[in-house]
Chain A
Amino acid sequence: MTIGRKEAGYRPIHERVTDFSEVEQTLNLEDRKLQASRCMDCGVPFCHWACPLGNKNPEWQDLMYKGKWREAMEKLQQTSNFPEFTGRVCPALCEKSCVLAQTGEAVTCRENEAALIEYAFNQGMIVPRPPKTRSGKKVAVIGSGPSGLATADLLNKMGHSVTVYEKDNAIGGLLRFGIPDFKLNKKVIDRRLDVLRAEGIEFVTSTHIGTDITGKELLKKFDAICLTMGSGEPRDLPIEGRDLKGVYFALQLLQQQNHINAGEEVSADDRISAKGKKVLVIGGGDTGSDCVGTATRQGAASVTQIEIMPKPPIGFNPATPWPNYPMILKTSSSHEEGCDRYWNLASKRFIGKDGVLTGVEVAEVEWSKDPQTGKMGMKETGKTHVIEADMVLLAMGFVHPVHTGLLDELQVNYDQRGNVAIDGNQMSSVDKVFAAGDTASGASLVVRAIASGRKAAAAINKYLSENNL
């Protein structure tokens, strides 16, 4: 308790907004070890409990503190396939439930994680370790996001032959095309993919299963299939003016920028750029924040973000006390870079001129608790105004995976929310077909996707060994 929490912090705003390089900095090794030493090896490690992967923070942080980097890395990788991803983009549920978080000084688990895995890569500790024997079983993984990669990684290590299919032209799913480079440099993904390839996973890109290859063919070819294609259907805002030019889904912007950063050419017609524009982001979540950062970097004249929900409390929310994940105001690095934020605003209509967006009419709303049901209800106050905008980015989340195509062809059952329904073993209603990640549970965090992928891999392995196919 004699050592305080020390965050590495971000590069200076004036510098970072000019590029798409990662904004977060690093501590020197000695400071990093000291930060790791802050972990108290709790009798009940809430961090470990809160982590969907069950990372054993007390164990690897202790090893790290002792300078046993390799053992620390191995300990971490036992529960986490890709610490280099989560170490960058995870909202760190662990830190929120750290015992020290009660007094606002949680251990810097996420940064420690990132530092550990980076050290390991730099020191050449991460080398391909292909399985010694092959089971002869073949598994197809559809979709190469975090969940698919985790499933593929584990199944491959268990000796099964894994092929990962990706409809886009590069592997990574939302990791690659959803998350901006300034949060996750894509070299980090490539670096991991090199390892996975060397370990024997086959990656097939630009292949849309359901279109390029049918589900039936796949089922013939493989002993099991895992659906990890994400939750591709974005939530739309079907209000007046939706078809005006200038209204985009968040991912349209983010994906394109990532393709451009990857060196791809985009025709001027297709280019979605915020340069010089007044940008309005609808939706106050992480994707919205990513839009803010991206728009800023594209040179937006102004960036505004609105949210229908009320403004969360700052610092502490009694409704979500420790060790719960705190519903408090999050100010991301992108917000710091300049953005107006408003809450309690519902979008009523898009206003345009000549088919081009000029603004959005928003209505002020109020939230109150229904005394009967205890649920929060929303009511418009009647006050409306117009926010000027010539670009709107819809970042209101995703509804469920795309049904048309593969899923409908396979005739999997859906749950109430339209996700692929699975049983306790992650299997869908169709034999041999498993699902994990957002496809099964709806859009969520990278760390949950990985956890779900791991669970699916274990279930598939069990399925393959029990059903001597």
Chain B
Amino acid sequence: MKSTYPKQQGLYNPENEHDACGVGIVAQLHGGKSHDIVEKGLQVLEHMNHRGAEGIDSKTGDGAGILVQIPHEFILLQGIAVPEKGKYGTGLIFLPKNNAEAEECLAIIKKEIASEALSLIAVRDVPVDNSILGKGSLATEPQIKQLFITGCDSQDELERKLYIVRKKSEIAVMNSSMEHKSDFYINSLSTKTIVYKGMLTSPQLREYYKDLTNPNFTSAISLVHSRFSTNTFPTWNLAQPFRLLGHNGEINTIKGNRIWMTARESVLKSDKLGNLKDLFPIVQPDMSDSASLDNVFEFLMMAGLSLPHALSMLVPESWNEKNPISEDLKAFYEYHSMFMEPWDGPADLMFTDGRYAGGMLDRNGLRPARYLITNDDLLVMASETGVLKFKASDIREKGRLRPGKMFLIDTEKGEIHYDAEIKDSLAKAYPYREWLNKNRIDLATVSSGRTAEISLPNYKAMVTEFGYTKEDIDFLITSMALEGKEPVNSMGNDTPLAVISDKPQRLFAYFRQLFAQVTNPPIDPIREELVMSMTNYVGSIHTNLLEPAPEICKMVKIKNPILTNIQFDLLLNLNYKGFSTTVLPMLFDPQYGAEGLEKAVDELCKSAEKAVDAGKNYIVLSDRGVDAQHAAIPSLLAVSAVHHYLVEKRKRMQTAIVVETAEPREVMHFALLFGYGANIVNPYMAFAVLQEEIKKGNISLDYESAQNHYIKSVTKGIMKIMSKMGIATIRSYRGAQIFEAVGIGSYVLDKYFKGTNSKIGGIDMSDIYRDIADAHKKAFAPDAEDSWTVVNAGNYAFRKDGELHAWNPETISKLQLATRSGDYAKFKEFTKAVDEKAHPMWLRDFMDYKRNPIDISEVEPASEIVKHFVAGAMSFGAISAEAHEAIAMAMNKLGTKSNTGEGGEDSERYKPREDGLSTRSAIKQVASGRFGVTTEYLVNADEIQIKVAQGAKPGEGGQLPGFKVDKVIAKTRHSIPGISLISPPPHHDIYSIEDLKQLIYDLRNVNPKAAISVKLVSETGVGTIAAGVAKAKADLILISGAEGGTGASPVSSVKHAGLPGELGLAEAQQTLVMNNLRGLVRLQADGQLKTGRDIIISALLGAEEFGFGTSVLIVLGCVMMRKCHKNTCPMGVATQDPELRKRFLGRHEYLMNFFNFLAEDVREHLAQLGCRTLNEAVGRADLIVPKTFDCNPKISKIDISKLIYMPEEAKTNPLHCVKKGINVVENVIDNQLIAKTKSSIESGAKSELEFPIENTDRTVGAMLSGEIVRKYGEAGLPDDTIKVTFKGSAGQSFGAFLTHGVTFRLEGDTNDYVGKGLSGGKIAVVPAEGTTYAPEKNIIAGNTILYGATSGEVYISGRVGERFCVRNSGAIAVVEGVGDHCCEYMTGGRAVILGSTGRNFAAGMSGGIAYVLNMQGNFDYFCNMEMVELSLLEDSSDVHELQNLIYNHYTYTGSPIAKRILTNWNDYLDKFIKVVPIEYKKVLHDERIAAINKKIAEVERDY
């Protein structure tokens, strides 16, 4: 028995576990305890069952739990002689099943109890019913006992002592040698609260713990949590709630937070807790991110901070200038930001300490939380509304938590505390503002007459020493200086990994960025900049962070961590302000070899420690001073080594690491330096390059502008990299190590990059040294000056003497010739060139397979094999119509599938052509932009693919500039010609795994016949995510290699984000098999697949389907110009220019040749393998044998054993998909709707229906709409053919994809995603009958309403949450108040807001119009003015339109405010603001002029 995750094996690593969930709280405002509160808590849980998940055996849940006040009366009734309330502590503990070890654990606790002078008065066996458990949870079920401890009169003191007992016991058990020590876990130990939890499903909780259903078991507060874990591994102790909180979300910065907590240990002192050393580590190892947060939260409270204080410090709201909060509160946040980095990530936190209960959201508000208060003072707060039923007339108030805001009740005093009040008292507790003003120095305001030299005397030698290439200078640095942004490139990365390459590499090149997918969303650094911050503080000498003190803020504030030479010089010379520093050279003498390098690094660490001891406020690591005798230590190595060393010594909090280095030049380099601990970087060499290029006339800017642009580019790039992981501040990004090493050996990683892994082993110090030494020798050779030249390394464009490219003239031309001529022999020449190349390029080149030949005639025919191939997603818009249709025709003819990409599809293509060919794409993609995702589009799919990420740019959005959006593209994307189309980085309806489950559910409802696939990108942890996706009931999972192509992407994403496909694929396969989920899903792989051998290796690693993108384009004529983003493709493949499109030479027959050849090639390999079908080979990693190469000293250090690992479970669990057909949806309201409206669907007769509805009824209307659209197409039925009234609280996605002719009316309220993808239907939401509160003051619907809607109407009588009308491209909506980010990315339609708005209104809005009732007169503050213009309504047509819309609103909802406005129209009219995107205005203007011109022309003709 083991009650924690499986150990690390193969590519599976328990560190990657994610969870997300439903969380809720029920509390009596006045503290009245009752069993009803417990019961209601359990009901809340059961009503969020759909947010949790279960494994393959439906009885094993991912975890559920409840936190309540200690049920004193119940305990007494159990015959336990506890003293009066508050004088004893209790809690459940999990013990190993093994009795001896259980005893040992108990003994340890007893010892700690005794040493705190407390006494254990009773141990109770907690009655449980384990007959209900599933196999998984039963196998790992612990012994559960309840302890009762007394011995101290003061409740506060006893509480602290119990904390100490618990911490010490945990540490003692951890340090013991017990075999099952990881099964030991103390749920809680408190005088106030108690936690019951386990690896249970939500409904099991009450059945398992008998106590919970006992009527005497009472509490005034119950906090419940149901867990959706990506994996189904036994994890009793990771069920939530923890001791204080339940967390729905994810801490993206957790690695860094944990490291910083360790570093912080030396500057924490608390009289209350005594010797803290005994309690360290504060963060219990091997637990989840939520558990870690709870640990710290609890610690801070034990040390005396108030609950809101501790939380505001850990999860601060955004407080930059774009946020409307008081200066005092900003000062509070700023003060705390100096020593506590945000625990950043999506979070819906609900918490209670037994007296206070409340909730708060992260700064982005990426999780939903709704609450209501009844007339009899019951608070219900949960991830969803409708989790408990109340009569409308019983409800006093409804609301939602807002981003960064808190809500709290005090059950002792019976008070409700809203955010403003809570924060106000926090802000006023100390004179933070004064402290800051007096102590904090803003570097930007320091002035001095000092100057700093930019140019370098030994420039040429430095270029060589630091390996600046022509592409670095011309392509990267120069374009950053000119454009102010990172250059864009297209197509994928086809160069080998740094560890495989023969070319010299910077250490940076061995790292890859990680990014958020599914379990947490990337954030949007451009459109939602208000949450981002690059501000830093350096220089403090902390002594104790737990005592507020003005000295803490004696620091230098630096707004941007990339310093110019002048700023850097200033920072170095702040002695007069009381800041001292020391410069430590990052140099070594190359003559002493790799040992010399290592020694130099180690000495650097020691010097850094000495500097801290000497009280230096910050240390400077500098590689200035490179000369013949001194080479530079790689800056990343030095930074990470020093950072980790100081953390280890608990001295990292006392100083800051400032790096003065010639090495970093591109965004990734800076990101790595910060990610591994640098506070500030001065890239002096990049600046010298700028100056040199200006001198040469290659940058026609003055130096200051070029420098500003360059810094801006890097800053923007870093924000993008941070936001890809869902991180908003550089302070929490620093040291968070959100990277994976690929090809660095464990010696280097363990010593200098602790916590970072490389799954394939790799280089050691000698390899690092070799590249440095070679460059150094060249740089300082006697004739170096004369023969000096800037090398073109050919990293981006092929060069003969440069880096290898998989797509080179030979492979491109061979493939084109073979497929055009239809000559299989020529194709074999191509496969030979790819498969038998002398130098490996990919990890799969290191794999061969065992031969066991059979006759090829025994192998299944090529026509079967071809069905395993699909064309990759390439949007019409990125590639030309000719290319897009050729792909579709070929795939349809072959009986397999092509993919629309994210640009929608012209409905003409759904019909077969005259020549019998079909250009319909069988796979319809749903991406974050939702362009053209209509009901009609979806029902015309055989497979619907949710693109969570794209290999070339995971975690990023995209943009199609207006000039590329011609009439045809605009039509298929449901937008307006000439208007830029922007895809957001996240799907705004996928912030978590349960959200993805919901989207899958939505799509399956619209089109129950289509398989649903989810596209992920290879990265560490993708296996865990894949398991979650399988549990979210997808039919197919695509693991995309990071090498995949793109039409346009910043270069650093193409090169540095994501992992090689092989790693992701193997990890997904291993994890799915271990979870026994593999049999339920198909697995698809892509990323630079070219030949039968590539396919076979991918199959052996676990894929049964294979996607082809780049090779498909090459067959159609692409020659890898890498100019897709410029619309200048000379081959007519990736362009919309009609002239260039004429040059298209491709034919669908070529593609058919390609896929038939591939299938034939696969057959030959299968025969060699001895497999009769491709499926037989799937997942047989045991048939792979490593292949060795001897090209360079690094290659032999690559170890692929983890890739070809077969988990033990592979012996029994399926290795490929054995499920027949696709998953089905059952028991939805729509089944009844369809049955009851049969006559309407068939003949258009009118139907009117009424239904009750609950929050568990999700996606109502989608299946009905799908049925209608299948029959009538986009037009649907005539207006109001089917009218349905619902009563109650609707679940998520109410009215999603509702089509024309269907009208829904909801009396009650509803959750997130109302009218998602609305395609012509109408929705009205009104408060339930009997509602007493004013609708416009209360929240009635959730977040992300009308996401991706293309047409239709929505009228909501009440307020709604964040991101109303996000990516709306045609629907009309009226609402009475909205949260943040309203109308984000809107490209069409109308939004009328008859109430207040949140922040960041109209961010990224490029089309459509919004009318906002601006009663407060402050709308302009809340509006993001980047792309829109505000005006009063002056045009009579606007006035007319608005009046009509409000009139409709009144008609549909009877809204009192609509009535008020209409009756006092003239008073209200001038309070309305019209919001029009500037681009849209131009289009409207042009249309108007065109109309006038037409009229004039006609008039003239009359003459």
Contacts and interface: CB of A to CB of B under 8 A. Distances in A.
A133 B1123 CA distance: 45
A159 B783 CA distance: 10
Contacts of A214: none
Contacts of A323: 809, 813
B491 A56 contact: no
Query: Interface on chain A toward B: helix, strand, loop, or mixed SS?
Result: loop
B796 A43 contact: yes
A49 B808 contact: yes
B1130 A56 contact: no
A68 B696 CA distance: 10
Query: A40, A43, A50, A131 — which one has the most chain B CB atoms within 10 A of its CB?
Result: A43
B124 to A, nearest CB: 71
B1147 to A, nearest CB: 14
Contact of A44 (B783, B792, B797, B820): B797
A46 B783 contact: no
A97 interface: yes
A12 interface: no
Contact of A43 (B783, B801, B1122): B1122
B1128 A42 contact: no
B1130 A99 contact: yes
A248 interface: no
A100 B491 CA distance: 20
B1128 to A, nearest CB: 7
A68 B698 CA distance: 10
A416 interface: no
Contacts of A3: none
Interface string B806-835: 011110110001001100000000000000
Interface in B739-778: none
A42 B1119 contact: yes
A46 B801 contact: no
Given A44-B797, A48-B800, A49-B809, A102 B1145 contact: yes
Query: Interface on chain B toward A: helix, strand, loop, or mixed SS?
Result: loop
Contacts of A366: none
A40 B799 contact: no
Interface in B1119-1156: 1119-1123, 1128, 1130-1131, 1139-1140, 1143, 1145
B1121 A40 contact: yes
A180 interface: no
A129 B1119 CA distance: 40
Contacts of B697: 68
A337 B898 CA distance: 56
Interface residues of A, number: 32
Contact of A78 (B782, B786, B789, B1131): B789
A132 interface: yes
B1140 A44 contact: no
Contacts of B792: 56, 59
A324 B800 CA distance: 17
A54 B800 contact: yes
Contact of B809 (A50, A68, A100, A133): A50
A40 B1122 CA distance: 10
Contacts of B710: none
A321 interface: yes
Contacts of A68: 697
Contacts of A54: 799-801
A59 B798 CA distance: 12
A1 interface: yes
A129 B788 CA distance: 14
B1140 A46 contact: no
B1130 A100 contact: yes
A390 to B, nearest CB: 47
Interface in A1-44: 1, 40-44
A418 interface: no
Given A49-B808, A78-B789, A322 B1130 contact: no
A293 interface: no
B793 to A, nearest CB: 13
Contacts of B820: 321
A324 B813 contact: yes
Interface string A126-143: 000101110000000000
A42 B491 CA distance: 12
Contacts of A381: none
A45 interface: yes
A42 B808 contact: no
Contacts of A78: 789
Interface residues of B, number: 36
A455 B1139 CA distance: 44
A284 interface: no
B786 A132 contact: yes
A162 to B, nearest CB: 17
Nearest to B697: A68
B805 interface: yes
Query: B800, B821, B1140 — which one has the most chain A CB atoms within 10 A of its CB?
Result: B800
Given A97-B809, A133-B783, A44 B800 contact: no
Given A44-B805, A50-B809, A133-B782, A99 B1121 contact: yes
A318 B820 CA distance: 10
B1456 to A, nearest CB: 62
Nearest to A2: B1139
Contacts of B1121: 40, 42-44, 99
B476 to A, nearest CB: 15
Nearest to A43: B1122
A44 B789 contact: no
A44 B812 contact: yes
Given A40-B1130, A103-B1143, A46 B800 contact: no
Contacts of A48: 798-800
Given A1-B1130, A102-B1145, A321-B820, A49 B800 contact: yes
Interface in B891-929: none
Contacts of B1131: 99, 102
Nearest to A48: B800
A99 B1145 CA distance: 13
A58 interface: yes
Given A56-B792, A99-B1121, A43 B817 contact: no
Contacts of B783: 131-133, 159
B491 A46 contact: no
Interface in A368-426: none
A107 to B, nearest CB: 11
Contacts of A49: 798, 800, 808-810
A42 B797 contact: yes
Nearest to B490: A43
A60 B931 CA distance: 42
A37 B1130 CA distance: 15
Contact of A56 (B796, B799, B821, B1120): B799
A68 B817 CA distance: 38
B687 to A, nearest CB: 22
A43 B797 contact: yes
Contacts of A100: 1130
Interface in A46-66: 46, 48-50, 54, 56, 58-59
Name the 10 nearest CB pairs between A and B, nearest first.
A43-B1122, A49-B809, A54-B800, A44-B1120, A44-B798, A43-B1120, A46-B809, A323-B813, A43-B797, A43-B1121
Given A45-B797, A323-B809, 18 more contacts: A1-B1128, A1-B1139, A40-B1130, A42-B1119, A44-B797, A44-B812, A49-B798, A49-B800, A49-B809, A49-B810, A50-B809, A54-B800, A97-B809, A99-B1119, A99-B1121, A103-B1130, A129-B786, A159-B783
Interface of B: 470, 491, 697, 782-783, 786, 789, 792, 796-801, 805, 807-810, 812-813, 817, 820-821, 1119-1123, 1128, 1130-1131, 1139-1140, 1143, 1145
Interface of A: 1, 40-46, 48-50, 54, 56, 58-59, 68, 78, 97, 99-100, 102-103, 129, 131-133, 159, 318, 321-324
10 contacts: A1-B1139, A40-B1121, A43-B491, A44-B798, A44-B1120, A46-B1119, A48-B798, A159-B783, A321-B817, A322-B813
